[in-house]
Structure 1
Amino acid sequence: MDAGAENLNAIAAWAVTLMETLGGLGAGLAIALENLFPPLPSEVILPLAGFAAAQGTLGLVEVLIWTTAGSVVGALALYGIGAWLGRRRMYAIVERMPLIKTADVERTEAWFGRHGSKAVFFGRMIPIFRSLISIPAGIERMPLLRFTLLTTAGSAIWNTIFVLAGYFLGANWHIVEDYAGVFQKVVIAVVVVAVAVWITMRVRQLRRNRLAVD
């Protein structure tokens, strides 16, 4: 058995233990922790919860409510971290980082001001960004009610898709993780390419500025 399969089995066993011990609350707790610790994959926990519902161990509606509640709790915790960090601390950190300018952050803030609601809603349905999007929302102090409603709506859609997949696939619930894993790898690849392009452009710009000064 390879390391990936062992990790999957360990996470699945942990989630099963939580759900057997705490019921729907256990599923919600697992998803709340998944928001705080992205290495815990919702793509495993949610289909497994759906499978538990198909077996009659948990109620389907119960699973959907608790997992969505867990998503919101985890997102609010990260929103709080962003709010605590604040703009002043964020700019202080940026000023110490190479290649990044405060103008970059200002543009990002302006973009979030125009598209923040869409970013929070759709971000809840994109691997990796599902958790991270809550932090800039907190930094920018998006109205808490709006953030909570958008997070609830986006999380409900994401959770429902994966819970129902596990519910209808039954014992083959783990198939969902394979397809979700491909989606996640695509997202990571796009992010890596985008960052590489940005770094290349910034280094070239710095070199041009130095040559102009010389």
Structure 2
Amino acid sequence: MRLVIWFIAISAVILLGWVLWGGSWEESFSLAGSVAWLERAGPWAWAAGIWLLAADLVLPVPGTVVMSALGYVYGLALGGLVAAAGSMTAGLCGYGVGRLVGERAARKLLGDRDFEKGRLLFARGGGWMIALSRSLPILPEAISCTAGLVRMPFGRFVASLACGSLPVGYLFAWIGAAGREAPGWALVFSLLVPAVLWLAARKVIQ
């Protein structure tokens, strides 16, 4: 029960940021606004894009729109690589935030029983949650923080994060490079491909 409360609390904090600042950021981080923001960074646009995607952990940044903007600025190959790197950076930051809470403190926060349940849940099914969440709002940050809190094995976390981040990064970079808004099928694609990749990867990674 405490694990559920933790997850809801983390999600609520992230959602509060969207409620408070999301409206004021909406125009700035439309596709056109994101492209303009990146272009102002000049030769450091790639770093600015990674920073924006990582900042999604605490700020209402529409990650898939920023990924599309990276595709528009850099094209599919480089834009997709930077977008995937930004998504992975965001996930690693979330995992790190969870790990900053020491295990003893995490056990007190969740209780020994929920801590062990959470550890077992993320050891078995956490990869699916991480891989499938990368294109969704709010959930990626909350899941990454929780994975770190319950000490999900780092190698398994990184592998599932890559399975989600790479196809999502390249998909939305392709959309941006083509100069279009995300079509309706993009969400299906951004869930299906990570699922297939993780299905293959989990057989190799223990």
- Specify the TM-score bucket, using the shorter chain as the normaliser: 0.5 to 0.7
C-alpha RMSD of matched pairs (Å): 3.1
**CA distance in 2: counterparts of 1:32 and 1:83, whole angstroms:** 17
Q: What is the SS of the residue equivalent to 1:11?
A: coil
TM-score of the pair, normalised by structure 2: 0.64
Q: Deviations along 1:31-83, whole A, 9 cap, x unmatched?
A: 1222x22521113212222233xxxxx23211111111112222112111111
The answer to whether structure 1 residue 137 and structure 2 residue 137 are counterparts is no
What residue number does 1:49 align with?
Answer: 70
Question: Residues of 1 paired with 2:75 and 2:125: CA distance?
Answer: 37
Rounded to whole Å, the distance in 1 between the matches of 2:140 and 2:148 is 14
Name the SS of the counterpart of 1:10 in structure 2: coil
Q: Aligned to 1:127, which of 128, 137, 146?
A: 137
1:92-103 to 2 correspondences below 5 Å: 92-94=108-110, 103=113
Instruction: Compute the displacement of 1:117 (Å).
Output: 2.2
Cα distance change on mapping 1:85 and 1:15 into 2, 3 Å: farther
CA distance, structure 2, for counterparts of residue 143 and residue 105 of structure 1? 14
Whether the 8 Å CA contact 1:15–1:27 is kept in 2: the answer is no
Where does residue 188 of structure 1 map in the other structure? Answer: none
Tell me how far apart the structure 1 counterparts of residues 48 and 76 of structure 2 sit (CA, whole Å): 14
1:134-173 equivalence runs, <5 A: 134-168=144-178, 170=179, 172-173=180-181
Question: After the TM superposition, which residues 201-212 of structure 1 pair with which residues of structure 2 at under 5 Å, given as runs?
Answer: none
Give the length in aligned residue pairs.
Answer: 163
Q: Is the 8 A contact 1:31 1:71 kept in 2?
A: yes
5 Å matches for 1:53-202?
A: 58-94=74-110, 103-104=113-114, 106-168=116-178, 170=179, 172-173=180-181, 176=182
TM-score normalised per structure 1: 0.62
Q: Which amino acid letter does the alignment assign opposite residue 25 of structure 2?
A: N
Post-superposition offset of 1:106: 4.3
Between the aligned partners of 1:140 and 1:5, the Cα distance in structure 2 is 33
Match of 2:46 among 21, 24, 31: 24
The runs of 4+ residues in structure 1 deviating greater than 6 Å are none
Q: 1:85 to 1:167 in 2, by over 3 A?
A: same
Distance 2:167 2:24 in 1: 29
Secondary structure of 2:151's match?
coil
| Counterpart contact for 1:27–1:63, Cα < 8 Å | no
Q: Runs of 5+ in structure 2 lacking a partner? A: 1-20, 189-206
Shift in alpha-carbon separation, 1:23–1:122, aligned structure 2, 3 A? same
The answer to whether the 8 Å contact 1:83/1:141 transfers is yes
Distance in 1 (alpha carbons) for counterparts of 2:120 and 2:156: 18
Q: 1:117 to 1:27 in 2, by over 3 A?
A: same
CA distance in 1, matches of 2:170, 2:60: 20
- Structure 1, gaps ≥5 residues long: 53-57, 96-101, 184-214
| Letter paired with 2:26 | L
Whether contact under 8 Å (2:75, 2:173) holds in the other structure is no
Deviation at 1:8, TM superposition (A): 2.2
Alpha-carbon distance in 1 for matches of 2:55, 2:66: 11
- In structure 2, relative to structure 1, the CA distance for the partners of 1:160 and 1:78 (3 Å cut) is same
